[in-house]
Protein backbone atom coordinates (compact mmCIF):
# COMPACT_ATOMS: atom_id res chain seq x y z
CA UNK A 1 0.00 0.00 0.00
CA UNK A 2 2.81 2.35 0.83
CA UNK A 3 4.50 1.65 -2.52
CA UNK A 4 1.40 2.45 -4.50
CA UNK A 5 0.97 5.63 -2.52
CA UNK A 6 4.47 6.85 -3.21
CA UNK A 7 4.10 5.95 -6.90
CA UNK A 8 0.90 8.05 -7.17
CA UNK A 9 2.53 11.07 -5.56
CA UNK A 10 5.57 10.73 -7.87
CA UNK A 11 3.42 10.66 -11.01
CA UNK A 12 1.29 13.57 -9.78
CA UNK A 13 4.43 15.63 -9.22
CA UNK A 14 5.75 14.75 -12.69
CA UNK A 15 2.44 15.77 -14.26
CA UNK A 16 2.42 19.08 -12.38
CA UNK A 17 6.00 19.86 -13.41
CA UNK A 18 5.24 19.02 -17.04
CA UNK A 19 2.22 21.31 -16.99
CA UNK A 20 4.18 24.18 -15.51
CA UNK A 21 6.85 23.67 -18.16
CA UNK A 22 4.31 23.89 -20.96
CA UNK A 23 2.72 27.02 -19.47
CA UNK A 24 6.12 28.71 -19.12
CA UNK A 25 7.03 27.83 -22.71
CA UNK A 26 3.69 29.29 -23.92
CA UNK A 27 4.27 32.39 -21.83
CA UNK A 28 7.75 32.95 -23.32
CA UNK A 29 6.56 32.26 -26.85
CA UNK A 30 4.20 35.21 -26.55
CA UNK A 31 7.00 37.53 -25.65
CA UNK A 32 6.31 37.97 -21.96
CA UNK A 33 9.77 37.32 -20.58
CA UNK A 34 11.51 38.81 -17.61
CA UNK A 35 12.77 41.71 -19.71
CA UNK A 36 9.14 43.01 -20.21
CA UNK A 37 7.97 42.94 -16.63
CA UNK A 38 8.54 46.70 -16.23
CA UNK A 39 7.04 47.65 -19.59
CA UNK A 40 3.43 48.96 -19.69
CA UNK A 41 1.19 46.31 -21.22
CA UNK A 42 -0.08 46.96 -24.68
CA UNK A 43 -3.67 48.26 -25.15
CA UNK A 44 -6.13 45.56 -25.95
CA UNK A 45 -6.81 45.53 -29.67
CA UNK A 46 -10.21 46.87 -30.71
CA UNK A 47 -12.64 44.10 -31.42
CA UNK A 48 -15.17 46.22 -33.38
CA UNK A 49 -14.57 47.65 -36.84
CA UNK A 50 -14.25 51.40 -37.19
CA UNK A 51 -17.25 52.30 -39.29
CA UNK A 52 -18.31 55.97 -39.03
CA UNK A 53 -20.99 55.41 -41.67
CA UNK A 54 -22.78 52.93 -39.42
CA UNK A 55 -22.69 55.42 -36.55
CA UNK A 56 -24.20 58.08 -38.81
CA UNK A 57 -27.04 55.76 -39.77
CA UNK A 58 -27.78 54.96 -36.12
CA UNK A 59 -27.65 58.65 -35.17
CA UNK A 60 -30.19 59.42 -37.90
CA UNK A 61 -32.34 56.58 -36.55
CA UNK A 62 -32.17 58.07 -33.04
CA UNK A 63 -33.26 61.49 -34.33
CA UNK A 64 -36.10 59.88 -36.27
CA UNK A 65 -37.29 57.96 -33.22
CA UNK A 66 -37.32 61.13 -31.13
CA UNK A 67 -39.29 63.00 -33.80
CA UNK A 68 -41.86 60.23 -34.24
CA UNK A 69 -42.45 59.92 -30.50
CA UNK A 70 -42.73 63.64 -29.81
CA UNK A 71 -44.37 65.18 -32.86
CA UNK A 72 -48.15 64.97 -33.26
CA UNK A 73 -50.05 65.30 -36.54
CA UNK A 74 -50.74 68.96 -37.20
CA UNK A 75 -54.45 68.28 -37.78
CA UNK A 76 -54.98 66.47 -34.47
CA UNK A 77 -55.65 68.75 -31.48
CA UNK A 78 -54.40 66.33 -28.84
CA UNK A 79 -52.38 63.22 -28.29
CA UNK A 80 -53.57 59.70 -27.59
CA UNK A 81 -54.03 60.34 -23.85
CA UNK A 82 -54.98 64.02 -23.90
CA UNK A 83 -58.47 65.47 -23.62
CA UNK A 84 -59.79 68.46 -25.51
CA UNK A 85 -61.06 70.65 -22.68
CA UNK A 86 -62.89 73.18 -24.88
CA UNK A 87 -66.63 73.74 -24.32
CA UNK A 88 -67.92 76.23 -26.88
CA UNK A 89 -71.50 77.60 -26.57
CA UNK A 90 -73.13 77.81 -29.96
CA UNK A 91 -76.08 80.07 -29.06
CA UNK A 92 -75.69 83.51 -30.64
CA UNK A 93 -78.01 86.21 -31.92
CA UNK A 94 -77.80 84.69 -35.38
CA UNK A 95 -77.80 81.04 -34.32
CA UNK A 96 -80.79 79.43 -32.63
CA UNK A 97 -80.18 75.85 -33.75
CA UNK A 98 -77.26 73.54 -33.00
CA UNK A 99 -74.48 73.58 -35.58
CA UNK A 100 -74.41 70.94 -38.26
CA UNK A 101 -71.32 68.87 -38.89
CA UNK A 102 -70.20 71.01 -41.83
CA UNK A 103 -70.33 74.11 -39.61
CA UNK A 104 -67.62 72.78 -37.26
CA UNK A 105 -64.00 73.65 -37.89
CA UNK A 106 -61.41 70.97 -38.63
CA UNK A 107 -60.04 70.97 -35.08
CA UNK A 108 -63.44 70.24 -33.52
CA UNK A 109 -64.26 67.60 -36.15
CA UNK A 110 -60.97 65.84 -35.51
CA UNK A 111 -61.70 66.04 -31.80
CA UNK A 112 -65.00 64.19 -32.20
CA UNK A 113 -63.59 61.50 -34.50
CA UNK A 114 -60.17 61.31 -32.82
CA UNK A 115 -58.59 62.32 -36.13
CA UNK A 116 -60.63 59.81 -38.11
CA UNK A 117 -60.31 56.93 -35.63
CA UNK A 118 -64.08 56.86 -34.99
CA UNK A 119 -66.66 56.40 -37.71
CA UNK A 120 -68.89 59.39 -38.33
CA UNK A 121 -72.51 59.69 -39.51
CA UNK A 122 -74.10 63.05 -40.24
CA UNK A 123 -77.55 62.02 -41.48
CA UNK A 124 -79.44 62.05 -38.15
CA UNK A 125 -79.43 65.70 -37.10
CA UNK A 126 -81.77 66.48 -34.18
CA UNK A 127 -82.62 69.77 -32.48
CA UNK A 128 -84.07 69.42 -28.95
CA UNK A 129 -82.75 72.79 -27.78
CA UNK A 130 -86.01 74.77 -28.09
CA UNK A 131 -84.33 77.33 -30.34
CA UNK A 132 -81.30 77.50 -28.07
CA UNK A 133 -83.27 78.24 -24.91
CA UNK A 134 -83.16 74.65 -23.62
CA UNK A 135 -85.98 72.25 -22.88
CA UNK A 136 -88.40 72.71 -19.99
CA UNK A 137 -90.21 69.90 -18.20
CA UNK A 138 -92.41 70.17 -15.12
CA UNK A 139 -94.16 67.60 -12.92
CA UNK A 140 -96.63 68.40 -10.16
CA UNK A 141 -96.30 66.75 -6.77
CA UNK A 142 -99.20 64.36 -7.35
CA UNK A 143 -97.60 63.25 -10.63
CA UNK A 144 -94.29 62.58 -8.90
CA UNK A 145 -95.99 60.66 -6.08
CA UNK A 146 -97.84 58.55 -8.66
CA UNK A 147 -94.51 57.68 -10.24
CA UNK A 148 -93.11 56.76 -6.81
CA UNK A 149 -96.04 54.41 -6.14
CA UNK A 150 -95.53 52.80 -9.52
CA UNK A 151 -91.81 52.44 -8.82
CA UNK A 152 -92.52 50.82 -5.43
CA UNK A 153 -94.66 48.18 -7.14
CA UNK A 154 -91.90 47.50 -9.70
CA UNK A 155 -89.29 47.18 -6.96
CA UNK A 156 -91.41 44.87 -4.82
CA UNK A 157 -92.30 42.53 -7.68
CA UNK A 158 -88.85 42.74 -9.30
CA UNK A 159 -90.58 43.14 -12.66
CA UNK A 160 -88.32 45.50 -14.56
CA UNK A 161 -90.09 45.36 -17.93
CA UNK A 162 -89.43 43.72 -21.28
CA UNK A 163 -86.95 46.27 -22.65
CA UNK A 164 -83.43 45.03 -21.78
CA UNK A 165 -81.93 48.52 -21.47
CA UNK A 166 -84.53 49.64 -18.93
CA UNK A 167 -84.48 46.33 -17.07
CA UNK A 168 -80.70 46.39 -16.67
CA UNK A 169 -80.78 49.93 -15.29
CA UNK A 170 -83.56 49.22 -12.80
CA UNK A 171 -81.67 46.15 -11.64
CA UNK A 172 -78.60 48.31 -11.01
CA UNK A 173 -80.63 50.89 -9.07
CA UNK A 174 -82.23 48.22 -6.88
CA UNK A 175 -78.85 46.68 -6.14
CA UNK A 176 -76.86 49.82 -5.36
CA UNK A 177 -79.17 52.60 -4.11
CA UNK A 178 -79.36 52.04 -0.37
CA UNK A 179 -81.90 53.35 2.11
CA UNK A 180 -81.03 56.90 3.22
CA UNK A 181 -78.54 57.55 0.43
CA UNK A 182 -78.27 60.82 -1.50
CA UNK A 183 -78.50 60.56 -5.29
CA UNK A 184 -77.46 62.82 -8.17
CA UNK A 185 -79.25 62.20 -11.49
CA UNK A 186 -77.35 63.46 -14.55
CA UNK A 187 -79.74 64.20 -17.40
CA UNK A 188 -83.50 63.69 -17.11
CA UNK A 189 -86.58 64.13 -19.26
CA UNK A 190 -89.01 62.75 -16.66
CA UNK A 191 -88.49 61.91 -13.00
CA UNK A 192 -88.81 58.14 -13.41
CA UNK A 193 -85.36 57.21 -12.13
CA UNK A 194 -85.75 59.82 -9.40
CA UNK A 195 -88.99 58.10 -8.37
CA UNK A 196 -87.27 54.70 -8.31
CA UNK A 197 -84.57 56.10 -6.02
CA UNK A 198 -87.21 57.53 -3.68
CA UNK A 199 -88.99 54.17 -3.68
CA UNK A 200 -85.71 52.55 -2.63
CA UNK A 201 -85.44 54.90 0.34
CA UNK A 202 -83.17 57.67 -0.98
CA UNK A 203 -83.22 60.68 1.34
CA UNK A 204 -82.47 63.29 -1.31
CA UNK A 205 -82.39 63.25 -5.13
CA UNK A 206 -80.93 66.09 -7.19
CA UNK A 207 -81.33 66.37 -10.97
CA UNK A 208 -78.82 68.28 -13.10
CA UNK A 209 -79.64 69.02 -16.73
CA UNK A 210 -78.88 71.59 -19.42
CA UNK A 211 -82.60 72.29 -19.65
CA UNK A 212 -85.04 73.48 -17.00
CA UNK A 213 -86.58 70.87 -14.69
CA UNK A 214 -89.34 71.56 -12.15
CA UNK A 215 -90.24 68.49 -10.13
CA UNK A 216 -92.52 69.48 -7.26
CA UNK A 217 -91.58 67.17 -4.42
CA UNK A 218 -89.88 67.93 -1.07
CA UNK A 219 -87.16 65.33 -1.68
CA UNK A 220 -86.36 66.38 -5.25
CA UNK A 221 -84.02 69.23 -6.20
CA UNK A 222 -83.11 70.57 -9.63
CA UNK A 223 -79.99 72.47 -10.72
CA UNK A 224 -78.88 73.73 -14.12
CA UNK A 225 -75.60 73.29 -16.00
CA UNK A 226 -73.80 75.93 -13.91
CA UNK A 227 -73.64 73.19 -11.27
CA UNK A 228 -70.59 71.71 -13.04
CA UNK A 229 -68.61 74.93 -12.66
CA UNK A 230 -68.94 74.78 -8.88
CA UNK A 231 -67.35 71.38 -8.44
CA UNK A 232 -64.02 71.00 -6.72
CA UNK A 233 -62.00 68.11 -5.38
CA UNK A 234 -64.09 65.97 -3.00
CA UNK A 235 -66.86 68.54 -2.46
CA UNK A 236 -69.74 66.60 -3.98
CA UNK A 237 -71.59 64.91 -1.13
CA UNK A 238 -73.61 62.29 -2.99
CA UNK A 239 -73.51 58.57 -2.39
CA UNK A 240 -74.71 57.57 -5.86
CA UNK A 241 -74.63 59.27 -9.28
CA UNK A 242 -77.14 58.03 -11.86
CA UNK A 243 -76.70 58.61 -15.59
CA UNK A 244 -79.02 56.69 -17.92
CA UNK A 245 -77.97 57.22 -21.54
CA UNK A 246 -77.23 60.91 -21.04
CA UNK A 247 -73.45 61.29 -21.23
CA UNK A 248 -73.41 60.03 -24.82
CA UNK A 249 -75.19 63.29 -25.74
CA UNK A 250 -72.91 65.57 -23.72
CA UNK A 251 -71.11 68.04 -25.98
CA UNK A 252 -73.13 67.45 -29.18
CA UNK A 253 -75.30 70.58 -28.77
CA UNK A 254 -78.54 68.68 -29.25
CA UNK A 255 -80.06 69.84 -25.95
CA UNK A 256 -78.50 73.31 -25.97
CA UNK A 257 -75.26 72.12 -24.38
CA UNK A 258 -71.93 73.62 -25.51
CA UNK A 259 -70.00 71.88 -28.28
CA UNK A 260 -67.36 69.72 -26.64
CA UNK A 261 -65.66 66.76 -28.38
CA UNK A 262 -64.73 65.29 -24.99
CA UNK A 263 -67.71 66.59 -23.00
CA UNK A 264 -68.61 63.11 -21.76
CA UNK A 265 -65.06 62.38 -20.62
CA UNK A 266 -64.72 65.77 -18.94
CA UNK A 267 -67.92 65.19 -16.96
CA UNK A 268 -66.71 61.79 -15.78
CA UNK A 269 -63.37 63.31 -14.72
CA UNK A 270 -65.22 66.04 -12.78
CA UNK A 271 -67.25 63.43 -10.93
CA UNK A 272 -64.14 61.37 -10.26
CA UNK A 273 -62.44 64.33 -8.59
CA UNK A 274 -65.47 65.69 -6.78
CA UNK A 275 -67.03 62.52 -5.34
CA UNK A 276 -65.77 61.03 -2.10
CA UNK A 277 -64.00 57.64 -2.17
CA UNK A 278 -66.53 54.83 -2.18
CA UNK A 279 -69.23 56.79 -4.01
CA UNK A 280 -70.82 54.91 -6.89
CA UNK A 281 -71.67 55.93 -10.45
CA UNK A 282 -74.41 53.95 -12.22
CA UNK A 283 -73.89 54.54 -15.91
CA UNK A 284 -75.38 53.31 -19.18
CA UNK A 285 -74.28 54.29 -22.69
CA UNK A 286 -74.75 52.80 -26.17
CA UNK A 287 -72.09 50.16 -26.83
CA UNK A 288 -70.74 49.08 -30.22
CA UNK A 289 -67.87 49.97 -32.54
CA UNK A 290 -66.59 53.49 -31.77
CA UNK A 291 -68.80 55.90 -33.63
CA UNK A 292 -70.12 59.46 -33.58
CA UNK A 293 -73.61 60.08 -34.96
CA UNK A 294 -73.92 63.82 -35.31
CA UNK A 295 -75.65 65.20 -33.42
CA UNK A 296 -77.70 62.35 -32.05
CA UNK A 297 -75.28 60.40 -29.82
CA UNK A 298 -71.97 58.65 -29.38
CA UNK A 299 -71.51 54.89 -29.51
CA UNK A 300 -68.81 53.52 -27.24
CA UNK A 301 -66.37 50.87 -28.42
CA UNK A 302 -63.09 49.52 -27.12
CA UNK A 303 -61.34 52.90 -27.17
CA UNK A 304 -64.03 55.32 -26.00
CA UNK A 305 -65.54 53.04 -23.36
CA UNK A 306 -62.15 52.54 -21.71
CA UNK A 307 -61.65 56.32 -21.65
CA UNK A 308 -65.10 56.88 -20.16
CA UNK A 309 -64.51 54.56 -17.19
CA UNK A 310 -60.84 55.47 -16.76
CA UNK A 311 -59.87 55.97 -13.13
CA UNK A 312 -62.91 54.22 -11.66
CA UNK A 313 -63.15 50.76 -10.12
CA UNK A 314 -65.69 48.62 -11.97
CA UNK A 315 -67.97 47.08 -9.36
CA UNK A 316 -70.46 45.34 -11.67
CA UNK A 317 -71.43 45.06 -15.33
CA UNK A 318 -75.11 44.28 -15.93
CA UNK A 319 -76.13 42.97 -19.34
CA UNK A 320 -72.63 43.47 -20.70
CA UNK A 321 -71.36 41.40 -23.63
CA UNK A 322 -67.82 42.20 -24.78
CA UNK A 323 -68.50 40.82 -28.26
CA UNK A 324 -70.86 43.75 -28.86
CA UNK A 325 -67.86 46.09 -28.90
CA UNK A 326 -67.08 44.90 -32.43
CA UNK A 327 -70.63 44.22 -33.59
CA UNK A 328 -72.25 47.08 -35.48
CA UNK A 329 -76.07 47.18 -35.05
CA UNK A 330 -78.29 46.97 -38.10
CA UNK A 331 -80.31 49.92 -36.82
CA UNK A 332 -78.37 52.56 -34.89
CA UNK A 333 -81.59 53.71 -33.20
CA UNK A 334 -81.94 50.30 -31.52
CA UNK A 335 -78.99 50.70 -29.22
CA UNK A 336 -77.45 48.14 -26.92
CA UNK A 337 -76.95 49.79 -23.53
CA UNK A 338 -75.46 47.71 -20.72
CA UNK A 339 -75.07 49.20 -17.26
CA UNK A 340 -71.74 49.83 -15.54
CA UNK A 341 -71.61 50.26 -11.78
CA UNK A 342 -68.44 52.18 -10.97
CA UNK A 343 -66.85 53.17 -7.68
CA UNK A 344 -64.51 56.04 -6.84
CA UNK A 345 -61.24 54.54 -5.51
CA UNK A 346 -59.32 55.80 -2.51
CA UNK A 347 -56.45 56.79 -4.78
CA UNK A 348 -57.24 57.97 -8.31
CA UNK A 349 -54.93 56.42 -10.85
CA UNK A 350 -55.75 57.18 -14.45
CA UNK A 351 -54.61 55.03 -17.32
CA UNK A 352 -52.07 57.59 -18.55
CA UNK A 353 -50.53 57.90 -15.07
CA UNK A 354 -47.64 55.42 -15.08
CA UNK A 355 -46.72 54.32 -11.56
CA UNK A 356 -49.00 56.76 -9.77
CA UNK A 357 -47.29 56.65 -6.38
CA UNK A 358 -43.83 56.78 -7.90
CA UNK A 359 -44.50 59.86 -10.00
CA UNK A 360 -45.99 61.85 -7.13
CA UNK A 361 -42.71 61.87 -5.22
CA UNK A 362 -40.36 64.77 -5.84
CA UNK A 363 -36.63 65.40 -5.51
CA UNK A 364 -35.50 69.04 -5.43
CA UNK A 365 -38.91 70.05 -6.72
CA UNK A 366 -38.80 67.61 -9.64
CA UNK A 367 -40.51 64.25 -9.98
CA UNK A 368 -38.47 61.13 -9.35
CA UNK A 369 -39.01 59.96 -12.92
CA UNK A 370 -37.63 63.25 -14.28
CA UNK A 371 -34.53 63.06 -12.08
CA UNK A 372 -33.88 59.43 -13.00
CA UNK A 373 -34.36 60.21 -16.69
CA UNK A 374 -31.86 63.08 -16.59
CA UNK A 375 -29.27 60.96 -14.77
CA UNK A 376 -29.68 57.99 -17.11
CA UNK A 377 -29.52 60.12 -20.25
CA UNK A 378 -26.41 61.94 -18.93
CA UNK A 379 -24.68 58.63 -18.24
CA UNK A 380 -25.61 57.37 -21.70
CA UNK A 381 -24.25 60.52 -23.33
CA UNK A 382 -20.95 60.04 -21.53
CA UNK A 383 -20.98 56.42 -22.63
CA UNK A 384 -21.55 57.49 -26.25
CA UNK A 385 -18.54 59.83 -26.06
CA UNK A 386 -16.38 57.06 -24.58
CA UNK A 387 -17.46 54.56 -27.24
CA UNK A 388 -16.76 57.05 -30.03
CA UNK A 389 -13.31 57.69 -28.66
CA UNK A 390 -12.63 53.96 -28.52
CA UNK A 391 -13.98 53.45 -32.03
CA UNK A 392 -16.99 51.40 -30.93
CA UNK A 393 -19.49 52.96 -33.31
CA UNK A 394 -22.04 50.17 -33.07
CA UNK A 395 -22.29 50.40 -29.28
CA UNK A 396 -22.38 54.21 -29.48
CA UNK A 397 -25.24 54.14 -31.96
CA UNK A 398 -27.26 51.69 -29.86
CA UNK A 399 -26.74 53.83 -26.76
CA UNK A 400 -27.79 56.94 -28.69
CA UNK A 401 -31.06 55.31 -29.77
CA UNK A 402 -31.82 54.29 -26.18
CA UNK A 403 -31.03 57.82 -24.98
CA UNK A 404 -33.51 59.29 -27.46
CA UNK A 405 -36.26 56.92 -26.31
CA UNK A 406 -35.49 57.53 -22.63
CA UNK A 407 -35.53 61.31 -23.11
CA UNK A 408 -39.04 61.17 -24.60
CA UNK A 409 -40.56 58.55 -22.31
CA UNK A 410 -39.08 59.00 -18.84
CA UNK A 411 -40.14 55.68 -17.26
CA UNK A 412 -38.49 53.82 -20.14
CA UNK A 413 -35.14 55.05 -18.82
CA UNK A 414 -35.40 52.51 -16.01
CA UNK A 415 -35.55 49.74 -18.62
CA UNK A 416 -32.93 51.24 -20.92
CA UNK A 417 -30.33 51.27 -18.16
CA UNK A 418 -30.14 47.45 -17.79
CA UNK A 419 -29.95 47.10 -21.57
CA UNK A 420 -27.13 49.64 -21.65
CA UNK A 421 -25.26 47.75 -18.92
CA UNK A 422 -25.72 44.49 -20.82
CA UNK A 423 -24.32 45.98 -24.05
CA UNK A 424 -21.26 47.35 -22.24
CA UNK A 425 -20.66 44.32 -20.08
CA UNK A 426 -16.94 43.36 -19.83
CA UNK A 427 -15.74 40.57 -22.03
CA UNK A 428 -15.05 37.23 -20.46
CA UNK A 429 -11.34 36.43 -20.04
CA UNK A 430 -10.04 34.01 -22.62
CA UNK A 431 -8.88 30.67 -21.24
CA UNK A 432 -5.75 29.23 -22.84
CA UNK A 433 -6.03 25.53 -23.47
CA UNK A 434 -2.67 23.86 -22.73
CA UNK A 435 -3.96 20.45 -23.65
CA UNK A 436 -5.55 17.68 -21.69
CA UNK A 437 -3.51 16.37 -18.78
CA UNK A 438 -2.40 12.76 -19.09
CA UNK A 439 -4.42 10.26 -17.18
CA UNK A 440 -2.68 8.67 -14.26
CA UNK A 441 -2.40 4.97 -14.69
Query: CATH code at 280?
Result: 3.40.50.150
Which pLDDT value is given to residue 346? 86
Q: Is the pLDDT of residue 75 over 50?
A: no
Asked whether residue 2 is assigned to any structural domain, the reply reads no
Q: Is pLDDT of 65 > 80? A: no
Q: Tell me, yes or no, whether 381 and 334 share the same domain.
A: no
- Which of 276, 354, 268, 283 is CA-nearest to residue 315? 283
The per-residue pLDDT for 66 is 61
Does the residue 408 lie in any domain? yes
| Domain, as residue range, for 275 | 101-343
Instruction: Supply the pLDDT for residue 367.
Output: 66
Give domain status of residue 266, yes or no.
yes
User: 70-79, 101-110, 188-197, 331-340: lowest mean pLDDT where?
Assistant: 70-79
Q: Indicate if 319 and 359 belong to the same structural domain.
A: no
- Answer whether residue 262 shows pLDDT above 80: yes
Segment 256-282 mean pLDDT: 93
* CA dihedral (178, 180, 181, 186) positive or negative: positive
Q: What mean pLDDT value characterizes the chain?
A: 79
Task: Name every residue whose Cβ is closer than 8 Å to that of residue 287 and which is 6 or more positions away in sequence.
Answer: 299, 300, 301, 305, 320, 324, 325, 335, 336, 337, 338
Instruction: Specify the pLDDT at position 72.
Output: 47
The percent of residues above 70 in pLDDT, for the chain, comes to 72
Residue 271 to residue 248: CA distance in whole angstroms: 16
Domain termination site, one of 343, 365, 390: 343
For residues 365 and 326, membership in a common domain is answered with no
The length of the chain is: 441
Q: What is the pLDDT of residue 389?
A: 79
pLDDT value of residue 322: 92
In this prediction, residue 74 carries a pLDDT of 47
99-113 average pLDDT score: 90
For residues 133-154, give the mean pLDDT. Answer: 91
Worst-scoring range by mean pLDDT, 326-330, 336-340, 343-347? 326-330
Looking at residue 423, what is its pLDDT?
Answer: 61
CB 140, CB 216: distance < 8 Å: yes
Rounded to 10 degrees, the C-alpha dihedral 254/257/262/265 comes to -110
Helical packing angle, 393-408 and 413-423, nearest 10°: 170
Residue 33 backbone class (left: φ over 0; alpha: ψ -120 to 50; beta: rest): beta
* Distance linking the first and last C-alpha atoms of the chain: 16
Both 329 and 371 in a single domain?
Answer: no
pLDDT in tens, 229-256: 887 766 788 999 999 999 999 999 998 8
Judgement on whether residues 228 and 334 belong to the same structural domain of the protein: yes
For residue 353, pLDDT over 70 is answered with: no
Q: Measuring CA to CA, which residue among 12, 132, 9 is closest to residue 437? A: 12
Q: Quick one: pLDDT at residue 227?
A: 86
- Residues 170, 160: Cα–Cα separation, whole Å: 6
| 14 within a domain of the structure (yes/no) | no
Checking if the pLDDT of 97 tops 90, the result is no
Q: Which residues, 6 or more positions from 252, have their beta carbon under 8 angstroms from its beta carbon?
A: 98, 259, 263, 294, 295, 296, 297, 298
Of the candidates 299, 279, 320, 314, the one whose C-alpha atom is nearest the C-alpha of residue 168 is: 320
- Confidence at residue 231, expressed as pLDDT on a 0 to 100 scale: 77
The answer to whether residue 34 sits within a structural domain is no
- Whether residue 324 is found in the same domain as residue 386: no
* Cα–Cα distance list, 132 to 103, 226, 292, 372, 381 (Å): 16, 16, 22, 53, 60
**Domain tally for the chain?**
2
At 234 the pLDDT is 67
In terms of domains, do 319 and 286 share one? yes
- What is the phi/psi pair of residue 269, to 5°? -70, -40
**Weakest mean pLDDT among 122-131, 252-261, 272-281, 361-370:** 361-370
2-11, 47-56, 166-175, range with the lowest pLDDT: 47-56
152: pLDDT strictly greater than 60: yes
> Mean pLDDT, to the nearest integer, of 370-390?
76
pLDDT of residue 123: 84
How much helix, strand and coil, in percent to the nearest 5, is found in the chain? 45, 15, 40
Find which of 32-36, 108-112, 125-129, 178-182 is predicted with most confidence, using mean pLDDT.
Answer: 178-182
User: Which neighbouring-strand residues pair with 297?
Assistant: 293
93 lies in some domain: no
What percentage of the chain has pLDDT greater than the value 90? 39
Amino acid sequence: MGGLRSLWWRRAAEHHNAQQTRMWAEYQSRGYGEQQTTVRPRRRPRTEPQDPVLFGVLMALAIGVACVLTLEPTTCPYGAKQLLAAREPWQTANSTTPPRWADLNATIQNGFTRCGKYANDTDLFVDDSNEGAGTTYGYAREDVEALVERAQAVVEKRQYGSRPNDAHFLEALVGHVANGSSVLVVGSAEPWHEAVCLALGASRVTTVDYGSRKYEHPQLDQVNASFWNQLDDANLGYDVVVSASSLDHDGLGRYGDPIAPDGDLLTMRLLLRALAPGAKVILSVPVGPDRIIWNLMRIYGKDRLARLTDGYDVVERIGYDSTKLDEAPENVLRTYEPVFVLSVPDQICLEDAFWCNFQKRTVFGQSVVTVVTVVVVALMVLSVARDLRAGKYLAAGATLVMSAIAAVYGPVALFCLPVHIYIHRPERPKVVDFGRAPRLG
